[in-house]
Amino acid sequence: MWQKLIETLDKLGDNYDKLAALGEKKRSALVGIDMKSLSDILDQEQLVTAKIQKLEQNRLEILRGLSQSDKTLTEATKAKDFYRKAPALAMEKKLIQLHERLSKNVDRALAIRSNNQVLAQCALDAVQGQLNKLSGATVEPTYSGKGAGVVTHQKKFDFKA
């Protein structure tokens, strides 16, 4: 089971690395407003995310199995302490190395995702501004109680046209 854990952690690290690379491509597509590329990237991200979810389920099953075989291991046991229970020193070192790699890849993917969310929100705000401009609406320099802009003198504009 320990070998399966090593393989699963390695695959998880690879997939988070792929997710981060796709996030960097997404940033370029967002900046360039390349909707075709963005659509392709989102499809690829969905596949990688599905693989990550499956690998995470496998990892949890393996950890449950290992913790049942050693009563000193519980769900509250920290990962590095858990890995120290590996049957061989080389295996312990490999598990710790893979854990650190996975942590870095997850942090990197989360940072890229956060930056892309800001870019996507800016793009949506720009689109909203253009729609307001086309419709002849004006936005007051104040905000509503919900934090949204107050639109006044809204003209009738058929968005379905």
Structural domains in the chain, sorted by start: 2-136 (1.20.58.300)
Full-model pTM: 0.71
Look-up: residue for tokens 């900046």? Answer: 31
Q: pLDDT tens digits, residue range 89-107?
A: 888 888 889 899 989 998 9
In 3D space, the residue among 105, 72, 75 whose CA is nearest the CA of residue 84 turns out to be: 72
Q: pLDDT tens digits, residue range 6-20?
A: 899 899 999 999 999
Q: What is the token pair recorded at 143?
A: 């905000």
Looking at residue 71, its pLDDT comes to: 74
Asked if 101 contacts 13 with a C-beta cutoff of 8 angstroms, the reply is yes
Q: Best-predicted range by mean pLDDT among 70-79, 110-119, 150-159?
A: 110-119
Q: pLDDT tens digits, residue range 51-66?
A: 999 999 998 888 888 7
Question: Would you place residue 158 in the very low, low, confident or very high pLDDT band (cuts 50, 70, 90)?
Answer: low
